[in-house]
Amino acid sequence: MSFLDDAKKKLADAVDKHGDKISDGIDKAAAAADQRTGGKHADKIAKAQAKAKDGLDRLDGKNDGPR
């Protein structure tokens, strides 16, 4: 197993165990960014938030999340 395969497996295991906490962190970061920009960039922040959560779902490999 190569280094990247091993790293991907470890990352997927971490996402399986802590995916809900990571998702909450993404939500909190998006809310903080939106608040600091005064809502000026809400559409861009929401788009980045959605992409981050999609990436999280792809790493999970399971379709068990709230989305």
The C-alpha atoms of residue 11 and residue 4 are separated, in whole angstroms, by 10
Per the CB < 8 A criterion, the answer to whether 53 and 26 are in contact is yes
Q: Among all chains, which residue has been given the structure tokens 């922040």?
A: 45
Q: Is pLDDT larger for residue 66 or for residue 3?
A: 3
pLDDT band at 1 (very low <50, low <70, confident <90, very high): low
Tell me the C-alpha to C-alpha distance, in Å, between residue 15 and each of 21, 27, 40, 57.
9, 16, 31, 9
Question: Over the stretch 11-67, which tens digit does the pLDDT of each residue have?
Answer: 888 888 898 999 999 999 999 999 999 999 999 999 999 999 999 988 876 655 554
* Prediction pTM value: 0.76
**What is the pLDDT at residue 59?**
83
Per the CB < 8 A criterion, the answer to whether 63 and 19 are in contact is no
